[in-house]
Amino acid sequence: MTTRSERLLAVLQILQRHRRPLAAQAIAEETGTSLRTVYRDIEALRAQGAVIEGEAGVGYILRPGYLLPPLMFTRDELEALVLGARLVAARADPALASAAGKALGRIGAVLPEELRFFVDTSPLLVPPRLPGAAGGAMAALREAMREERKVALRYRSLAGEETRRVVWPVALGFFESVQMLVGWCELRGAIRHFREDCIAACEILPDRFPRRRHALLRDWRESERMRAADRS
């Protein structure tokens, strides 16, 4: 069953998609409600600060500049946020795990009571700490990616061979049993994949990438797409 807050959010999203006045009947059909309910919802949104112009029989339009009220989520969206935050808390480095818990707490603190209870009692659970949870290099790699700075890695392969690499970190992949760094390796002159649990040391260097990270990410995705096509 759709809650009132979910219905109001749906009406706002419908109005945001249209630049011309939209008939109440069209809103009622899309939300699966009656005309009377649409009229009540429009008045409720106006009372909350939404600048909605128009009237019954003419149509309604949401004036530009109005932002959706924060933290108005459907139950499916809330479940996705809860599950994502719990997975991060169980998977990521301590700093990111802590941030996930704090973010979920902030969301719960400002939700309406019925939705706060829904978040607190969500049945979507994950183990407290999953196998393959991130090690000590993850926080440094995340910082390096944000700032587009090179890192110096002391990398130990599964065979026990240790090398020192200067890498431009591009992305981090979270798999079931391991985290994988995608990065341009200066030693190999190409993009390589590095297991996070094989990184013995990680130092952020002052040097920035000679190319933007998003461009490197695009190149990597294209190369992966071509490899997948070759295998098919």
| Ordered alpha helix ranges (H), the chain | 4-16, 24-31, 35-47, 75-91, 94-110, 113-120, 137-147, 213-231
Q: Is the pLDDT of residue 67 over 70?
A: no
Q: Is the pLDDT of residue 92 over 90?
A: no
Distance from C-alpha of 182 to C-alpha of 192, rounded to nearest angstrom: 6
29 three-class SS: helix
Starting at the edge strand found earlier in the chain, the sheet holding 190-195 runs 190-195, 179-185, 162-174, 149-156, 199-208
What is the model's pLDDT at position 133?
Answer: 58
Q: Is the pLDDT of residue 70 over 70?
A: no
Domains of the chain, each with CATH number or no CATH: 4-62 (1.10.10.10), 75-120 (no CATH), 137-231 (2.30.30)
Letter string b/e over residues 48-58, b meaning 16 or more CB atoms within 10 A of that residue's CB = eebebebeeee
What is the model's pLDDT at position 104?
Answer: 84
Higher pLDDT, 208 or 91: 208
What is the model's pLDDT at position 129?
Answer: 67
Token reading at 152:
């110096």
154, amino acid identity? R
- pLDDT-based confidence at residue 60 (cuts at 50, 70, 90): very high
Higher pLDDT, 228 or 164: 164
Q: Would you tell me the crossing angle of helices 24-31 and 4-16 to the nearest 10 degrees? A: 130
What is the model's pLDDT at position 220?
Answer: 95
For the chain, percent of residues with pLDDT exceeding 90: 46
Q: What is the pLDDT of residues 104-154, one digit of tens each?
A: 887 877 777 777 888 888 888 887 766 655 667 999 999 999 999 999 999
Distance from C-alpha of 197 to C-alpha of 194, rounded to nearest angstrom: 9
Higher pLDDT, 160 or 91: 160
Over residues 65-76, mean pLDDT: 65
Query: Please, which residues bridge with residue 52 across strands?
Result: 62
Q: Is the pLDDT of residue 65 over 80?
A: no
What is the model's pLDDT at position 122?
Answer: 87
What is the model's pLDDT at position 213?
Answer: 95
Closest CA to 193 of 224, 230, 225, 228: 224
